[in-house]
Amino acid sequence: MPIYQTSGFEFEDPAVFADGMTRPDGAFVYARYSNPTVRSLEDAVAGLEGGVAAVAAASGMGAINMVLLGLLQPGDHVIAQHALYGGTAHMLDDLVERFGIQVSYVPEHDPAAVRAAIRPRTKLLYLETIANPMTQVADLPAMCAAAREAGILTAVDNTFASPILCRPIEHGADIVLHSTTKYLGGHADIIGGLAVFADDALYRKIWSYACTLGATPDPFAAWLTLRGMQTLALRMERHCANARVLATRLAGHPAVAAVHWPGLASHPSHEIAAKLLPDFSGVLSFDLLGGRAAGEKFMSSVRLALLAPSLGGVETLILHPASTSHRHLDEEQLAQAGIGAGTVRVAVGIEHAEDLWADIAQALD
């Protein structure tokens, strides 16, 4: 796919020009509305997710905001799971404070809590397939069914699973969200996001909102994402295999109090995860016996893993969620998301597993 590095397109027929501005399947007119390189990415991810179409955005948060702001009105009510990406949690707080939108929080595995939370103005159930950073896995079939019974849309952030491990539309989701910055792009060289839709009318509604919102991706970022996606399946295999090695060995190490990775039988989501996912992705968290001080010492002692934000690239990255990605959460919200003061998150890359373990073991020592 070439990079269509252009802001607009030239026409001979004024009617075709005018028509292209009104719908996503008309002619390409202006790159804030649609661009062929970006469309190619949208079609590729919609295909992988089993949706009818997708709208790309300049970042994962751009895609999330495009959906929230495109769907919700003041006075509406959202049901969200407790454990959310920090940026999403921050945005929901902002919607409550500044736009009069109500949000109720429920556990990601409890459809009865969804039914109990439903109000006349409930519009959306918001979930994450695998939550950041404690890796709780949502019971997508049960949660989506509870929302559907009540006529409510479900949006699922599928960033951590990628369509290789989970296709939420098959489990009843209406909208699938991605930070393509992560596994889809795969090389830590772009920021991007995307929403996939199960339904054509919903797709057109959000496309139309996205045209004026303007969180449009650049065609070069879309092209790099497409390039990265060619190795998505291979990379996911290695991310999952490496995470299994590290999680198992960390769980047996005397300095480690707890390991959070849904592939371990000790993880609270293991049963749901084993039914929903063929493998358990590449992000894990762990708590050291020495709490926050030990966590900080560990993070400044690793040599191969990088102390850096984000995940889903080829290199292993570590961070301290309570002071970085989840810094907006107060003590109670941190506790509800299951994040400890000393929790360390590891976004496992595709390096050789023994090199990674050697690095982690020397840092633990």
Ligand X SMILES: Cc1ncc(COP(=O)(O)O)c(C=O)c1O
Residues forming the active site: 32, 85, 157, 182
Q: Does 60 bind ligand X (CB under 6 A)?
A: yes
Among 76, 157, 174, 279, binds ligand X (CB under 6 A): 157
E strands, the chain, in order: 53-57, 77-81, 102-106, 122-128, 153-157, 175-179, 193-197, 256-260, 283-288, 306-307, 317-319, 343-347
Residue 270, number of CB atoms within 10 A of its CB = 16
Rounded least distance, CB 150 to ligand X, Å: 25
Tell me whether residue 87 or residue 168 sits nearer to ligand X (CB atom).
Answer: 87
Binding piece for ligand X, criterion CB under 6 A, among 25-33, 157-165, 223-231, 339-347: 157-165
274: tokens are: 């084993």
Element (H, E) at 67: helix 60-71
List phi, psi (to 5°) of 172.
105, 5
Among 20, 24, 70, 87, the residue binding ligand X under the rule CB under 6 A is: 87
- Is position 185 an interface residue for ligand X (rule: CB under 6 A)? no
Query: Mask: binding to ligand X, 295-334, rule CB under 6 A, as x and -?
Result: ---------------x------------------------
- The conformation of residue 76, written as its DSSP 8-state character, comes to -
Q: How far is the CB of 276 from ligand X (least distance, A)?
A: 16
Residues ≥6 apart with Cβ < 8 Å to 281: 130, 135, 160, 161, 162, 165, 236, 239, 240, 243, 262
If the CB atoms of residues 106 and 131 are measured against ligand X, the closer one turns out to be 131
Does 132 sit near ligand X (CB under 6 A)? yes
Among 59, 81, 162, 281, binds ligand X (CB under 6 A): 59
Nearer to ligand X by Cβ, of 322 and 363: the residue is: 322
Question: Which of 35, 135, 159, 285 touches ligand X (CB under 6 A)?
Answer: 159
Residues 6+ apart with CB under 8 A from 132: 83, 84, 85, 86, 159, 160, 283, 321, 325, 345
The count of other CB atoms within 10 Å of the CB of residue 43 is 13
How far is the C-alpha of 219 from the C-alpha of 2, rounded, in Å? 9
| Residue 81 lies near ligand X (rule: CB under 6 A) | no
Binding residues for ligand X (CB under 6 A)? 59-61, 85, 87, 128, 132, 157, 159-160, 179, 181, 191, 193, 310
